[in-house]
A and B are shown apart, each in its own frame.
Chain A
């Protein structure tokens, strides 16, 4: 079984490498349609990492929501926007430096958070997290955050409707 574990480990490294290459492609490719396709590859790669970490439900939901719904809408928007998918329209503009600054701040905050967290191991060891566990957690200790998120989503929906409304009174 050691050989299997070895293959699994190197497969995971290969997957991470492909994901990283695709992530670089998202920000460097000139054609925005190709960049969007690279983003799809990144999201699928992240889902595969979730699956490798025994979080199968999270992986499936990642693909369902990010790849199946959000990226579909992003590409839909790209195809509806005239000329944006032609090679002439670049992905870089003069907001590069403020964006880089913002990304740097986010990177520092996230890395500080990652290194200051203790990452306690779950008592069950390496047992996969099932949908049932997640459901109980969402309906029990995390019921309030769950409800707050749904309120935020409703607010976003109503806001989108208000913006997209045709006839203004």
Chain B
């Protein structure tokens, strides 16, 4: 049991021990970092490739189709075929485009997406870099990914790209605020910012220590997950790349592998954000019987399948609905949730359950009532007439 749980850690230590026999000490330290980096890059790329396959299969089943089924058994080689197609496609750059920024944007898009994997706790002792500010680091690095999108949308010299960039900025800034605030109760309960420490704090027999089983944990998890869906521009929050409105937004003018890099970064962000949601609220790798890394992957893929399910079920929301959802419902709810979490740690066992459920339920009721009679104001154009 324990050997299966620690198989990756033991493998890495074994490689390092063999390397230590004939390599100088500093090179072993470099190699220790390199093993983690190579493992993360290989894992990230393979995950992304098969997430595309999984998404197409899942959506196809929801729409009563079969999905990819020609290349290999069950279409399992379809991602490889797609990769070959992407690599052999012609690279088209618009005539008036800013060539340097246009070429740089997809490359820079990949950097935060890959760096985020470094603080994800994949299993017991399997955090690549256990920073004591892990969650802050994650949020900081993921907030950088707005800039490559801006670079792509501006350098394309295309009005639809520019519109997509504007929508991305508005959406990412709006949803980052409730996302960070909804993570606060979990950080409060764990008393640490380290991703490893947060998972350790959610121990307990058979997964009963997960934060999602508490009222503030459940509310925080739902808000965090909705914001995560919006942060990685997935349906129903896919306004920045709405095909039918602004012909796919910021990546309209990209072709071949450059487009594929944007696509990869998006799937990696979906994976890492689901992983952070699982870490903060679903107990990370904590769970009974199965090895820790398997528990972690089960939780992350469960969340990803919910994202695919959203895409197969929900229509795209309007811009004004998107903004008012973040600012008028999610943001006040996160503030109430932080208060409830504080109350939870100060009051007794029965009082805290009753009071926190009552406060959260009444808050949801009040905020939805306040938001219900929303009519978009009649636009008056001050300079347009």
Asked whether B137 is an interface residue with its Cβ less than 8 Å from the other chain, the reply is yes
Asked whether B160 is an interface residue with its Cβ less than 8 Å from the other chain, the reply is no
Near B by CB (< 8 A), chain A positions 51-100 give: 56-57, 60-61, 63-64, 67-69, 71-73, 75-76, 79-80, 85
Which chain B residues border A60 with CB–CB below 8 Å?
133, 136-137, 140
Interface residues of A (CB under 8 A from B): 1-4, 7, 33-34, 37, 40, 44, 56-57, 60-61, 63-64, 67-69, 71-73, 75-76, 79-80, 85, 128, 130-131
Which chain B residues border A67 with CB–CB below 8 Å?
140, 143-144, 147
Name which residue of chain B comes closest to A75, CB basis: B150
Name which residue of chain B comes closest to A68, CB basis: B143
Asked whether B81 is an interface residue with its Cβ less than 8 Å from the other chain, the reply is no
Which one of B25, B141, B169 lies within 8 Å of A1 (CB-CB)?
A: B25
Name which residue of chain B comes closest to A58, CB basis: B133
CB pair B133–A131 under 8 Å, yes or no, is yes
A30 CB to nearest B CB, Å:
13
Expressed in whole angstroms, the Cα–Cα distance for A72 and B153 within the complex equals 13
Expressed in whole angstroms, the Cα–Cα distance for A61 and B135 within the complex equals 11
Expressed in whole angstroms, the Cα–Cα distance for A71 and B98 within the complex equals 20
Asked whether B101 is an interface residue with its Cβ less than 8 Å from the other chain, the reply is yes
B198 CB to nearest A CB, Å:
13
Which chain A residues border B162 with CB–CB below 8 Å?
79
Contact residues of B: prevailing secondary structure = helix
CB pair B169–A76 under 8 Å, yes or no, is yes
CB pair B136–A68 under 8 Å, yes or no, is no
Expressed in whole angstroms, the Cα–Cα distance for A44 and B139 within the complex equals 15
Near A by CB (< 8 A), chain B positions 224-252 give: none
Expressed in whole angstroms, the Cα–Cα distance for A1 and B24 within the complex equals 9
Which chain A residues border B381 with CB–CB below 8 Å?
none
Question: Which 8 pairs from chain A and chain B are nearest by CB?
Answer: A68-B143, A64-B140, A3-B26, A63-B140, A60-B140, A60-B136, A4-B26, A60-B137
Which one of B136, B146, B151, B165 lies within 8 Å of A61 (CB-CB)?
A: B136
Expressed in whole angstroms, the Cα–Cα distance for A67 and B153 within the complex equals 18
Would you give 15 A-B contacts (Cβ < 8 Å), ordered by A? A3-B24, A33-B154, A40-B147, A56-B131, A60-B137, A60-B140, A63-B140, A63-B144, A64-B136, A68-B144, A71-B147, A75-B147, A79-B154, A79-B166, A80-B166
C-beta contact mask, B12-33 vs A, less than 8 Å → 1, else 0? Answer: 0000000000001110011000
Name which residue of chain B comes closest to A57, CB basis: B133
Name which residue of chain A comes closest to B382, CB basis: A166
Q: A57-B133, A60-B140, A61-B140 are in contact. Are A1 and B26 (CB under 8 A)?
A: yes
Interface residues of B (CB under 8 A from A): 24-26, 29-30, 98, 101, 131-133, 136-137, 139-141, 143-144, 146-147, 150-151, 153-154, 162, 165-166, 169, 172-173, 176, 193
CB pair A76–B166 under 8 Å, yes or no, is yes
Which chain B residues border A69 with CB–CB below 8 Å?
143, 173
CB pair A130–B132 under 8 Å, yes or no, is yes
Which one of A57, A61, A72 lies within 8 Å of B147 (CB-CB)?
A: A72
B137 CB to nearest A CB, Å:
5
CB pair A72–B101 under 8 Å, yes or no, is no
The residue in B30, B150, B165 that gathers the most chain A C-beta atoms within 10 A of its C-beta is B150
Expressed in whole angstroms, the Cα–Cα distance for A85 and B172 within the complex equals 22
CB pair B146–A72 under 8 Å, yes or no, is yes
Expressed in whole angstroms, the Cα–Cα distance for A33 and B98 within the complex equals 11
CB pair A57–B101 under 8 Å, yes or no, is no
Name which residue of chain A comes closest to B166, CB basis: A79
Taking A68-B140, A130-B132 as known contacts, 19 extra A-B pairs with beta carbons closer than 8 A to each other, sorted by chain A number, are A1-B26, A3-B26, A4-B26, A4-B30, A34-B101, A37-B101, A56-B133, A56-B137, A57-B133, A60-B133, A64-B139, A68-B146, A68-B176, A72-B146, A72-B147, A72-B172, A75-B169, A76-B169, A131-B132
Which chain B residues border A33 with CB–CB below 8 Å?
98, 101, 154
Which chain B residues border A34 with CB–CB below 8 Å?
101
Expressed in whole angstroms, the Cα–Cα distance for A120 and B296 within the complex equals 46
Q: A1-B26, A3-B26, A60-B133 are in contact. Are A72 and B140 (CB under 8 A)?
A: no
Which chain A residues border B172 with CB–CB below 8 Å?
72
Which chain A residues border B132 with CB–CB below 8 Å?
56, 128, 130-131
Expressed in whole angstroms, the Cα–Cα distance for A128 and B29 within the complex equals 20
A3 CB to nearest B CB, Å:
4
Which chain B residues border A7 with CB–CB below 8 Å?
26
Q: A3-B26, A37-B151, A76-B166 are in contact. Are A64 and B133 (CB under 8 A)?
A: no
Name which residue of chain A comes closest to B150, CB basis: A75
A29 CB to nearest B CB, Å:
12
Expressed in whole angstroms, the Cα–Cα distance for A166 and B29 within the complex equals 60
Expressed in whole angstroms, the Cα–Cα distance for A130 and B191 within the complex equals 13
